[in-house]
Amino acid sequence: MRLPAHTRIILIPDDEQSAREYGISRRMVIMLAVLLALATITMGVLMVSFARQQNARLRLNALEQELAAATLEVRTAAQLRRELEETRALQEKLLFMLGVRPDSALASSPGAAGDQPAGSARDNLQRAATLAVTPAPRLWPAAGFVTREFDRGNTVEGDLPHPGIDIAGPENSPILAAAPGEVVRTGTHDFLGNFVEIQHGLGYLTVYGHCARLAVARGDRVQAGQVIAYMGQSGQVTAPHLHFEIWDQGEAVDPRRVLAGDPPPQ
């Protein structure tokens, strides 16, 4: 259908008087139609764009919430990790104070002969409960006379430390446990020769070196005064004697600070 050249628009009021008549050319009608179409399209584009922006804003809000939740989880995990590490450190410190350390603090001492495998936490706690009330060393481990005293030495001046006391006596004389405890290490060392390490309560550990032979094995529970080895001259020695060390909380101490008097005579 072709549009007429001119279109008349007549406006008649309710009283049907003074009617008004307007004329619109065909070109004007086409322009109005085009403008209306453009306005409709523009409005549709704007509505679609607004909807997309709204969706993007909602998605952004959701991502921000997820990021906040993830950040909180990371912080919580980090806090839990720190608390776990602090708890583990406290447990290890407590076990060490009670005298239970699978990786003995004596690892750097002359009596060390390799690391022992670590037990489970349950085993360590059981050992801690067993050793918690174990008394400190109180008995001299052998009869004889002291040939060399404890000496911290001075490495700067080339004076090597001697972290124990040497007790001379006849070969194959019995060596006794200085206190109740658990044998945590036995073996052979370049310096100490055949040796025994016994863990006691409250962080005490005793070392017995230059033995001719051993009478106990790792894991044995011993009583104070029990024979654990026999005096000899294994390792770096010139005569039969016992090299005896006492460690307290991972530090070698003078046995005379712990034991009273002198070794009993032969």
Question: Mean pLDDT throughout 57-74?
Answer: 86
The pLDDT tens digits for 141-188 are 999 999 999 999 887 887 889 999 999 999 999 999 999 999 999 999
> Is the whole model's pTM more than 0.85, yes or no?
no
Q: DSSP labels for 155-214?
A: GGGTB--B-SEEEE--TT-EEE-SSSEEEEEEEEETTTEEEEEEE-GGGEEEEEEEEEEE
pLDDT reading at 194 higher than 80: yes
| CATH match for 105-258 among 2.70.70.10, 3.40.50.740, 1.25.40.10, 3.40.50.300 | 2.70.70.10
Instruction: Please give the sequence-ordered ranges of beta strands (E in DSSP) within the chain, or none if there are none.
Output: 6-11, 20-25, 145-148, 165-168, 174-176, 181-189, 193-199, 204-214, 221-222, 227-231, 241-248, 251-253
Q: Determine how many CB atoms are found less than 10 A away from the CB of residue 133.
A: 10
Q: How does residue 130 score in pLDDT terms, banded at 50, 70 and 90? A: low
Domain limits of the chain? 6-79, 105-258
Instruction: Pick the range with the lowest mean pLDDT from 24-38, 111-125, 178-192, 214-228.
Output: 111-125
